[in-house]
Amino acid sequence: MNSLNQAIYNWLTIKLVADGRKEDFAAKETVSLFEEILHSEYKVFNKELMINDRFYIVNVDTSEGKKTFQFSKDVAESLLNFIEQHEEKFTK
């Protein structure tokens, strides 16, 4: 990963896929992989996800203190939307 921001974004997008597709075990495994990356590479030890009308907001605690990341709902949900539009290409 190039940055904590990118790692948080990747975790969020695959988490949305896993939450939206309960039987998608590959997505669940990928969420776990990104959680391990966040912990081991970026020393993230706590995550809080909030949603409002326009944004996903991720608050994290790291060894360097608290940090907040904000992603538009359209961008964050783009992977899930793509998978749902091309369901035949993705097995659960």
User: pLDDT for 14-66, tens place per residue?
Assistant: 999 999 999 999 999 999 999 999 999 999 999 999 999 999 999 999 999 99
Q: In terms of Cα–Cα distance, which of 29, 30, 74, 73 is closest to 50?
A: 73
For the full predicted model, state whether its pTM sits above 0.85. Answer: yes
Domain hosting 58: range is: 4-89
Burial of 35 (0-12, 13-18, 19+ CB in 10 A): middle
- Asked if the model's pLDDT at residue 81 lies above 80, the reply is yes
Structural domain count of the chain: 1
